[in-house]
Amino acid sequence: MGKLFGMAWGNDAKEDVIQEEIKAFSGKGEYGQALKTIKAQRGEGWETLADIPGFNSIQVQGFNLFYNSYINRVFENEVQKIMEYRQMAATPEISDVIEDAVNESTQEDDIGEVFHLEIRDKNLKTNENIVNNLKREFDSLFREQIDMKDKIWEMLWTYFIDGRLFYERVIDEKKPKNGIINVKKLPSETMDFYYDPISGKIAQYIQYLRPNTKKPTTLEEARKMSEKNELILFDPNQIGFVDYGIYGKSRYEIIGYLDKARVPFNQLKLLETAVIIMRIVRAPERYVFKIDTGSMPKDKALKYVEKIKQKMTKKQAYDPTTGKLSNEPDVMGILENFYLPQSADGRGSDIDTIGGNTNMFSELDDVYYFQKKLYRSLKYPASRVTATQEGRDAEMLYGGQQTSEISRDEIKWAKFLERQQKKVCKDLTDMFIIHLEFRGMKKEYDLTNRKIEITMNAPSKYKEQMEQAFTDSRFNNYQQLADRPEMSKYYLMKRYLKWDDEEIQANVAGKKKDTQLGLAEEDGGNTSNW
């Protein structure tokens, strides 16, 4: 085993978000210079830039740059991707979805437990001594030493946001026979690994101790950097690692849970910002100032009006990050009033008003559309979102109109969470087997992750509800045919109740036992035929 204590390192460095593509929109960069050149060559014959030959291609390029920069950004490395995921998770819509996902994935059962040890091997099940020893070790590790029930919430929160989870399995070097004594979650942005494509396993884990450290090209180079305290090398068994399971061009490019939500999320935020600005500009009542400029020439008249405007106007700016208005100049500035020069024709200056549009907040269909698209990308049940908020009717229920029905999107959501639980539980099972190896039990009992398994409580009761509905239907079918003399009760039990011979015999024995104990109903009939 390598070093047992990884260093949690906070990434204080701010990523550089000023790219050449963005500069194009402020008149800088390659395309910005192209725009300036075209403007300089523009003559009186060209009314708009759109009329200039070849300019449409630049407009398309500009849109593509805008889309790739703001809507579907291309990341230079995994750290940038993780940081964008975290920015997304800080918003109310996505934060609520992730919170629901974690809460439902970590539900407690009737005795307050989240995790359970399942013995899958039939031979192990029959050995009561082995079963008791394994359960004792399980309780000692997960409930006494680690207290995994409290830590799993934060671990899953990180997993859903970052698309990956790294944690260290800590042991006592002086007393390795005690096994794993604790787990420590490691910052995802500091972790990396070397993947062996032949074995399909991770050969080495790395934790960078400095921001913007370039990944070593070889393990030998990584060992040299470790000696210089630039990074920490971990043995594969020392680190627990769970990722979302979807990858890009290589195994190192992990596509997280929030990745499909990036485009609709950015579209929704840009649209919300545009809607707010439009509402602020058009909704309020504003003044129109007609300034008497007498017989001034046109250029002097405009300067005179501008001078008065500077004295009397306030320019407000909207900040999409905080949602506040300020009086500071900004690219999203809003002029409350209008100032117009008026030539001398016998009339003086006057002030008029322009009424605001107060109905514009009721026209939010476009916002509802992208909101619905965002929730769909997150696999979140649309039926949980209030219909009036999303501008749609409620979803159809699964199975009809009974009180026990479950909507289809709820079932899809529950199955999605179950898949994530299985990924985490598989890694925890591997950790438990490593713990048993330190304790000497793995070899003694010949244990593998196919013989034992750690499970979590189901995120939803939909399976029990569906099974109850099917059971009611089967018993109703059985009861309708059981009293018919031409029908065999044995056949009906096999056909409709889905009982095997052992269960049927157990039922017969149970009926006899009821008679012996006086539990049989008086009109229950003779049980000797059963």
Please state the three-class secondary structure of 126-166 as a single string: HCHHHHHHHHHHHHHHHHHHCCHHHHHHHHHHHHHHHCEEE
Q: Is 195 part of any domain?
A: no
In 88-198 the beta strands, taken as DSSP E runs, fall at 115-119, 164-171, 180-186, 191-196
Per-residue pLDDT of the chain (530 residues; tens, 9 = 90+): 444 333 333 333 333 433 443 344 444 444 445 445 444 444 434 344 344 344 444 455 555 565 566 566 777 889 999 999 999 999 999 999 999 999 999 999 889 899 999 999 999 999 999 999 999 999 999 999 999 999 999 999 999 999 999 999 999 989 999 999 999 999 999 999 998 888 888 999 999 998 888 999 888 999 999 999 999 999 999 999 999 999 998 899 999 999 999 999 999 988 888 877 777 766 666 667 777 777 788 888 888 888 877 766 655 565 666 666 665 544 445 455 556 566 666 455 565 655 555 555 566 788 888 889 999 999 998 878 764 454 444 444 344 444 456 678 888 999 999 999 999 999 999 999 999 999 999 999 999 989 999 999 998 766 666 677 777 788 888 888 888 888 888 888 888 888 888 988 998 888 888 888 887 765 444 444 44
Query: Does residue 117 fall inside a structural domain?
Result: no
Give the pLDDT score at 318.
59
- What pLDDT is recorded for position 75? 79
pLDDT of residue 131: 95
Look up residue 271 and give its two tokens: 């649209």
Give the chain's domain count: 3
Query: Domain for residue 422, yes or no?
Result: no
Q: What is the DSSP letter of 74?
A: P
Q: What is the pLDDT of residue 522?
A: 54
Question: Residue 186 falls within a domain, yes or no?
Answer: no
User: Residue 525's pLDDT is what?
Assistant: 44
Residue 50 lies in a domain: yes
Q: Among 74, 96, 112, give the residue marking a domain's end.
A: 74
Dihedral sign from CA coordinates of 205, 209, 214, 218: negative
Residue 197 lies in a domain: no
End-of-domain residue from the set 301, 320, 355: 355
Q: Is residue 307 part of a domain?
A: yes
Domain boundary among the residues 330, 355, 380 is at 355
In which element (H, E) is residue 517 found? none
Measuring CA to CA, which residue among 369, 233, 197, 357 is closest to residue 285?
A: 357
Spatial separation of the C-alpha atoms in residues 478 and 33, rounded to whole Å? 82
- Domain with 3, as residue range(s), is 1-74
pLDDT of residue 69: 63
In a domain? residue 368: no
Q: What are the counts of helices (DSSP H) followed by strands (DSSP E) for the chain?
A: 18, 18
Q: Do 296 and 304 meet the contact criterion of CB atoms below 8 Å apart?
A: yes
Q: Are 29 and 20 in contact (CB under 8 A)?
A: yes
pLDDT of residue 451: 94
**Which residue type occupies 57?**
S
